A and B are shown apart, each in its own frame.
Chain A
């Protein structure tokens, strides 16, 4: 067996009996169960008599293309609908409700003025295919955001197109491949190196681009093992993908040598920018020699996580990769860039400047998504960066790093600290002592934390730390919140010692308790079935054929 795993589930099943069945307590019914025939919420006007008369001259939709039965969407009143979604909302924890120290996710406050900006009709109603004359505001905003991201990262060129961090990784690796092909080395450079602490998207991305992944071990200080990296570099290596600060929350203090070694070997140096929150104003990857970095606008730049997206994953690239950027690129075609920036920064008019989408990119890798990118997130990120300004951005990293180190020193007696050194914006503890001494796992610890109204830290990542517990407070939490968290973590450790069984029963105060994930995977029930109350789906290997009943 070669086991690839991330977080572990509890071993052994606490669940007896089958999934489904009428004996289950329903927390909030499905919207389908609230449906009653002929109820309406939103209505629409009828076509005018004139329009109907006029339309009859045109070809009708023939019966062969028409639907045989109307879709069984729920029929509810507007009030019932709102109550349903509001009650669902009540079941969620969120940043706006309480502390959310998920390592690697940067769960900072999402400012509401960003939402105000994204809803401005001039921006929200702008059609991506409208003529450039009608879209100068949208194009200018994208151009200004790209300029700011260049300043922040030290890269000379930006693409805003990728829709998420993983999408930015895909874009970067496609560009890497295009670069090597253009240099006649496309066939020979087939490997991508990643540290053993890498996020799963890194090797998954490499595979999507047809590369083999080679894992480089970390050294005893938690940095990448430079000797092993050098040994692995060669003419068959396309790139190194590395996160800095690492997924251990530690700055790679040999980063200069790492980048030099990679580039000397003819490979591309890719930085995963998920942890940018730690280094704003302190380290600029483009300046330090990296070829590519992806930004996560939904992490460092405060756009809301939305329960799992939308995000945005722009990339910064070096000059040698610039020709391969996805097309089109918002470009300043009339006006001087320095002057336009100065005017925009000072709040003066930029009406003389003209922007266009540059499609003339002969070496582009193509497009990685439709249209131009998650523009709504650009509006939010631009608003955020302009609100913070130079001083605010620096304060972000200072306070994020301060808070993480504060938690490190407050908790390092309570939980094992596998790498006892200066943290950046996040700190990784291990629950191995609690496991050894009391038989409780990091999962149990996380579930106990839930009962205190706090979202647990990230668990079981990075993979190189046993029973990992990754804490990222961010810069937007008050000292009282941080101290409260310390108290909770100590209380859970105490409970682990005095009553481990209590941890294994946790959580008991949340809307639902621990869920049977094994049953969910063995007998997948992935959608409501009409007419068959609680009937589970057939297992995936069974033949298809669901007979719909009205």
Chain B
């Protein structure tokens, strides 16, 4: 899967797309592949306060479970409700329809601590 290069990536295999004062976050295709068929996502609550690199949810596949670590800090303004009934979107479209949450950014400079597409590709080679 080609990596979108308008995103930034964390070591824990989450991505963030910054859109002004807000950002959308999700997990990468690499992570979804590692997990296998994803069956459940424990989404954060709207209004929850996320910290960069702190856990904010859980994703389960048939045979594995993983914590989700937020790539940036901020307040959750929207979660992708479709994932409740269709967690498989994380496998089929992790960078698009499989987005997890939208956040009001607390500190835009935090993005500097993240990797760009090339660096992440190198990391996961």
Residues of A whose CB lies within 8 Å of any CB of B are: 1-11, 13, 517-518, 521-522, 539-541
Contact = CB atoms under 8 A, between A and B. Distances in A.
A5 B67 contact: no
B78 interface: no
B46 interface: no
Interface string B6-46: 00000011100000000000010001011111111000000
B69 A517 contact: no
Contact of A4 (B14, B65, B68, B84): B65
Contacts of B33: 11
B67 A2 contact: yes
A277 B12 CA distance: 41
A182 to B, nearest CB: 36
B121 interface: no
Contacts of B49: none
Nearest to A3: B66
Interface in B41-67: 59-67
B85 interface: yes
22 contacts: A1-B12, A1-B13, A1-B27, A2-B67, A2-B69, A3-B34, A5-B63, A5-B65, A6-B63, A8-B63, A9-B62, A10-B36, A518-B36, A518-B37, A518-B61, A518-B62, A518-B88, A521-B60, A522-B39, A539-B85, A540-B40, A541-B84
B98 interface: no
Contacts of A11: 33, 36-37
Given A9-B36, A518-B62, 16 more contacts: A1-B12, A1-B14, A1-B27, A1-B34, A1-B68, A2-B66, A2-B69, A4-B66, A5-B35, A5-B63, A9-B63, A10-B36, A518-B36, A518-B37, A518-B39, A540-B40
A257 B47 CA distance: 53
A463 to B, nearest CB: 11
A2 B63 contact: no
Nearest to B34: A3
Given A522-B88, A539-B84, A541-B84, A5 B37 contact: no
Interface residues of B, number: 28
Interface of B: 12-14, 27, 31, 33-40, 59-69, 84-85, 87-88
A443 to B, nearest CB: 10
Contacts of A3: 34-35, 64-66
Given A9-B61, A9-B63, A539-B85, A521 B39 contact: yes
B37 A517 contact: yes
Contacts of B65: 3-5
Contacts of B88: 518, 522
9 smallest A-B Cβ distances: which pairs?
Answer: A5-B64, A518-B37, A521-B39, A3-B66, A9-B62, A517-B62, A1-B66, A1-B13, A522-B39
Contacts of B38: 518
A539 B35 CA distance: 20
A521 B39 CA distance: 6
Contacts of B69: 1-2
Contacts of A6: 63-64
Contacts of B12: 1-2
